[in-house]
């Protein structure tokens, strides 16, 4: 199931070109992604046991302060042995696509700092909310 988060475009998000800076898109995506992981793992696991291993953003339309806000969405695309892949989008409030993204998060062992296999409970939680 896709998760959506409405985010206001803040003055600090805008750069000297008077559009939302490209780095801010990563922050918008992260805010939505974090909520998705928290919701997916509610009562099953700790969302802080995952790290972002890859993010690729394709920019489709600039955002400006006049757009006032965006709606960011993410949905599960793939589950691997120790990772999962999310498809993400940033849209204007009117629904116009501004950016598309793919993010890979990896389960991390806190003691070793290395990747670890997903637990059965984590895998089941992710499967339960798959589109």
Whether 92 contacts 82, CB under 8 Å: no
Whether residue 27 has pLDDT greater than 70: yes
Whole-number Å distance between alpha carbons of 70 and 95: 9
For the chain, list the domains and their CATH numbers: 3-128 (3.10.129.10)
pLDDT tens-place string over residues 59-71: 999 999 999 999 9
pLDDT tens-place string over residues 93-120: 999 999 999 999 999 999 999 999 999 9
Q: Which helix (H) or strand (E) holds 81?
A: none
Nearest CA to 80 out of 35, 39, 50, 45 is that of: 50
pLDDT for res 118: 97
pLDDT for res 113: 93
């Amino acid at each position: 199931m896709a998760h959506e988060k409405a985010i206001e475009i803040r003055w600090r998000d805008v750069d000297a070109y008077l559009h939302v800076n490209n780095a801010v898109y990563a922050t918008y995506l992260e805010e939505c992604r974090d909520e998705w992981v928290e919701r997916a793992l509610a009562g099953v696991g700790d969302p802080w046991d995952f790290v972002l291993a890859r993010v690729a953003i394709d920019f489709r339309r600039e955002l400006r302060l006049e757009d006032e806000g965006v709606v960011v969405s993410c949905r599960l695309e793939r589950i691997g042995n120790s990772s999962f892949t999310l498809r993400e989008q940033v849209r204007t409030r009117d629904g116009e696509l501004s950016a598309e993204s793919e993010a890979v998060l990896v389960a991390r062992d806190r003691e070793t700092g290395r990747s670890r296999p997903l637990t059965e409970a984590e895998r089941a939680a992710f499967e339960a909310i798959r589109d």
